[in-house]
Structure 1
Amino acid sequence: MTAVLGLAGCAQLADVLPTPAREQSPAPVSKMILFPLPFKELPGWVGDNHAQALPAFIKSCDKIEKLPKEKSMGSFLVMGKIADWIPLCASARLIRPGNKIEAQYFFESRFLPYSVRNGDRYKGLFTGYYEADLRGAFGPDNTYRFPIYAKPGDLIEADLGAFDDKFKGSTIGGRIAGNQFVPYFSRAEIEDGALSGRQLETVWVDNAIDAFILHIQGSGRVILPDGSHIRVGYAGRNGHRYTAIGRELVAAGVMRLDDVTMPAIRSWMEAHPVAALALMRKNKSFIFFQVIEGAGPIGAQGVALTPGRSLAVDRAFLPLGLPIWLDTTEPGTRGRDRLSRLVIAQDTGSAIKGPVRGDYFWGYGPEAALKAGTMKEEGEYYLLLPQSAAREYPKF
């Protein structure tokens, strides 16, 4: 007999690429259903090097272990409590680095896989993101004219889930004006000087399109004039709904839906610089950044992302830190080459909405940018949940 688990939550149809790094918007109802299955039914499971995902999982453990033991890991009982995950984290640290056999045995002996269905659909959309590359300086001049702003002190981000469970995973941003909570300044208002004189400029970059793409990706490296670099990462958002400029280009008849990719959008914007500035202002959403230290960009869980092993998910359905078996296709291969590997849920994203939806972190560099910018693949995933939490359900 098969155990079937269901959860109702909020989700939305995926925005046409490019998609924003951090945003929330109203969404229709979706339902997540879980089905247990054996590891042997995971497509491509034995072909992966599971040891490569283990360091990412251990990073997540550093955050999981700080949570109250009685706290639920997720919305399903079978996801367990934090107390179910602490022994798994301890065992993961005992595995010798790079030992594929030990890593595979660890996951197979301590977890049970569950396929995920959104209502009656197993398949969902999987996109990609990367660490953006920019050129900048700490002060403005004729070259570096476009500021990257720190989060303003008067920006308030409220967790709507604290007011009503049906809004779990959603936030809203704004500011206090008089005795009213009002929307924060829009992109156009900020570009027109709404934040001028407040010393919020973290760094200045040389290209408006690069700055806009940084808002989409959520993190980036800024190469300074002396050749050194700083990393900047997401710090907050102004709370306005994201407008996908890809959709705007399709609506204007400039592009066909099937042709909308990050490289294609960028090429059009570079060829039409004046129109590009107007197009970007259509997106009222605005992202604020902070300088970050460490080996990589920081995801929503607060840990450094691992190229090829970190996945952004919808937190309304999946808890961060969860091991996930991803089964989709490599971008640019027309579905011929599989992308099947163990990843860890460590980030979120505004267009990442629904039970079967993910944003795959490719890392840094030209190849990562190309793959992330062209990834719009159909796929599915499987959750790896603690055996200790699944004892009341059938075993295989």
Structure 2
Amino acid sequence: MRTLKVALLGCGVVGSDVARYMARHAADLTARIGAPVEFAGIAVRQADLPRPGVPEHLITTDADELVKRADVDVVIEAIGGTDRARDLITTAFEHGASVVSANKALIAAEGAALHATAAAYGVDLYYEAAVAGAVPLLRPLRESLAGDRVTRVLGIVNGTTNFILDRMDSLGADYAQALKEAATLGYAEADPTADVEGFDAAAKAAILAGIAFNTRVRLDEVYREGITAVTAADIENAKAVGCVIKLLAVCERSADGSSVTARVHPAMVPLSHPLAAVRGAFNAVFVEAEAAGQLMFYGPGAGGAPTASAVLGDLVAVCRNRLAGITGPGDAAYQQLTVSPMAEVTTRHHLILEVAGQPGALAEVATVFGRHGVSIETFSQRQRDDGCALAMSTYPTTDAALSAAVVALRDMDHVRRVTSVIRVEGT
């Protein structure tokens, strides 16, 4: 048996765990692949940093030279970012190596081009670890459900934001307190923008939608809202109606199959829905398909060890392909479906309004909703000294209609403030 050679790019949190687990499970990997697998080299930016459990003789700072080596069968990319990672992956393809990546930002932005290059050189591009960490999700979508028709993907795909919202819900913490705790525990980066503003989840939504619906979904076509505007009052309002607030990635196929939508935003989820029970930094994704029905995938969505698990799973698949002289599934985007804008998406909404206590105020509010085609499903009011607070949930309506109604409400003399507008999912 010839030994398969692996080049590892990056030896940070993920890369170092990949190196350690690959050494720890060398015998099992050999048995599962059908040939020994070992590192040809590990490329890093700073060679003098301590890396427990990582052989020093494998360390190099010349990533370009490493991916050009003729004896390298597979390149594992764990450096993150886009431009540098794209260039190194492309070079690896050009020199005959397959690639395993954990880089969701790169795959969301450059996936089509990278798949085309991999196909041109007859090599593989796998990236199970790019979405939901250790949770096996992309391969079931691409392979296990290949004979079915996926209609909807709904889930929590960012552990940092789920941890923050969970703390706000379970402990009554405000956003700033919960974010500080997430940073202390290592769930939030020094700059948490990618997580809390929804950029990380949006990249994953683009990948999920592309694979689930076999069409190209660009990152800029994914509607995105983060959690920075979610307040303790929003959390309490959700509790009052039997819900929790989660940052959700939602990908849907239209009823006639001609278009899709992809969006990331906070949403109220009923306590009866399984996603409501997903706590801490865990991920969970619901997949709905015509024949299979509802499937749920749950597990740790981030961290070195969980991500390394997914990387090594891809490594086994790619190495098996290498030995068999074949390549696995390539780009799934054989359709060219329209990606509908958020304005056309139909959802339920929950609103809180502060209204002056004047005769006819409630009737005027109802008239505004009716004028914009928004139907109220539930309604309650809490009396205050200077007026009342109205809480209402709508029947499914387009985002455009609801937004127009909210603008009109804010212009009304009787409406002092629209304090909260949150979408409702999972009903």
What TM-score do the two structures reach when normalised by structure 2?
A: 0.24
Bigger share in helix: 2
What TM-score do the two structures reach when normalised by structure 1?
A: 0.26
